[in-house]
Amino acid sequence: MNVLQQLVNGLSLGSIYALLALGYTMVYGIIKLINFAHGEIYMLGAFIGYYVANNFGFGLVLTLLTSMIICAILGMLIEFLAYRPLRNSTRIAALITAIGVSFLLQSLMIYFVGADTRPYPQLMKNITYDLGIFQISKIQIVIIVTSLFLMLLLQFIVQQTKMGRAMRAASVDPEAAQLMGINVNYTISFTFALGSSLAAAGGVLIGLYYNSIDPMMGVAPGLKAFIAAVFGGIGIIPGAALGGFAIGIIETVVSALGFTAYRDAVVYLILIIVLLVKPSGLLGKNIKEKV
């Protein structure tokens, strides 16, 4: 096994998981909700990219931006219609609603576009560069660079902007943030928009990477991204990115060792071990809850 080659492949896949995991962790950080419909936003992002590229002839950058903007609006709409009315209800009610939204989006897509797998439009000519010790394709470079750029942009928004400060305040104490003049509803909507746009970017990039999309494509990556968020520390942005890269590399290495059929099982096993050994995740801190 060429270790460097598997590391490159793992980073490419892990970049996608990291983009998805960031959406999970941001939403959980603010309203303590696991948004299980997030994988379907990723799927919708891929399909939006598919249609705008085919019908309008958009290039990669325009396709990415269009998909991210439309999915950001969809994310805000889902939060407003499905989650906001349940904000003060029990956690289990919100969780069941999130699962329901996930199944609803899957079913609607299967009804309107069909369940068939379709080839993704090639928005760029793929070239493989042989660097001697490993090979890397142009698409892999684009995926890694785009993902890192979006993660750094997210970190800048959260740490350096007024809205980022509002997000951090709302995540610590929504009631106190509201008393300080922060519009908590707007802040939560913005968080959903931000997470959904990252998921959409992941959907377009994975469509390019695997050259195929289908309405059920968000199920497994959505679960793995959730595991990545837990692995890194749910609610912690750098933790989600770290967890995404780690899960991508682990999955690729397991496949390279000849255990492709068991790679999903290994990822789920990691979740169980993390929850048993360090429930707060790699970068999380153990906090005692008041009863």
- For residue 186, what pLDDT is reported? 93
237: pLDDT confidence band, cut at 50, 70 and 90? confident
The pLDDT value given to residue 3: 79
- Predicted local distance difference test score (pLDDT) of residue 271: 84
The pLDDT of residue 195 is 94
Mean of pLDDT values over 58-81: 95
Phi, psi of 118, rounded to the nearest 5 degrees: -130, 145
Percent of the chain at pLDDT exceeding 90: 60
Distance of alpha carbon 212 from alpha carbon 221, whole angstroms: 14
CA 30 to chain CA mean position, Å: 16
The answer to whether 64 and 204 have CB atoms below 8 angstroms apart is: yes
pLDDT at residue 172, rounded to an integer: 87
Looking at the predicted structure, is the pLDDT value of residue 7 above 70? yes
More confident residue, 65 or 257: 65
**Which tokens belong to 215?**
């309405």
Q: Residue 133 and residue 129: Cα distance in Å, rounded?
A: 11
Mean pLDDT of 192-211: 94
> Quick one: pLDDT band at residue 44, thresholds 50, 70, 90?
very high
- Check if the beta carbon of residue 93 is closer than 8 Å to that of residue 106: no
Is a pLDDT exceeding 60 seen at residue 52?
A: yes
The mean pLDDT value for 77-89 works out to 91
Q: Whole-number mean pLDDT of the chain?
A: 90
Residues 4 and 173: their CA atoms lie apart, in Å, by 44
CA 16, CA 14: separation in Å to the nearest integer? 5
> How confident is the model at residue 1, as a pLDDT?
54
> Contacts from 65-73 at CB under 8 Å and sequence distance 24+?
67/200, 67/201, 67/203, 67/204, 68/197, 68/198, 68/200, 68/201, 69/197, 70/200, 71/41, 71/44, 71/45, 71/196, 71/197, 71/199, 71/200, 71/203, 72/193, 72/194, 72/196, 72/197, 72/200, 73/193
Q: How far apart are CA 243 and CA 226, in angstroms?
A: 9
The confidence score (pLDDT) of residue 132 equals 79
Q: Quick check: 145 pLDDT over 90?
A: yes
pLDDT at 193: 95
Looking at the predicted structure, is the pLDDT value of residue 290 above 80? Answer: no
pLDDT at 165: 92
